[in-house]
Amino acid sequence: MKGKEAEDRALKYLLGLGHVLLKRNYRIRGGEVDLITRAPDGTVVFTEVKHRSKTDFGHPLETITPRKVRLLWRTALRFLGRDDVSCRFDAITITGDVQAGQLKHEESIVTGGEH
């Protein structure tokens, strides 16, 4: 349930920035994206949400491995189809309490050459 709560908080944050929700928990065989939104500038944003109550074993951003990046690319390409659309991959991490802990928004965690 904590994952859904973290996604709820991240979505509220993105909506506050003017994003529009396109899809939540978009899944294909072998891949999933937590949140897909359209930013105010029209960019489609694929957001991975990670929560850890403690950072004793590393920051939540460290859980986004090269394998996960490949799966994000694959899932994003399926979602976009053949449209020539501006997009980016972001991460929202929450450390500590899911509702009151530190929320950090990392934009463009993946660049074009990393897929």
**pLDDT for residue 60:** 78
Provide the β-strand partners of residue 105: 92
**pLDDT for residue 69:** 85
Cα–Cα–Cα angle for 92, 2, 55, nearest 5°? Answer: 60
**pLDDT for residue 28:** 92
Distance set, CA 76 to CA 30, 42, 68 (Å)? 12, 16, 12
**pLDDT for residue 81:** 86
Domain count for the chain, please give it.
1
Domain of residue 7 covers: 2-114
CATH of the domain at 30: 3.40.1350.10
pTM beyond 0.85: the answer is yes
Q: How far is CA 88 from the centre of its chain?
A: 10
**pLDDT for residue 82:** 67
The residues of the chain scoring below 50 in pLDDT are 112-115
Residues 58 and 14: their CA atoms lie apart, in Å, by 25
| Cβ–Cβ < 8 Å for 109, 64 | yes
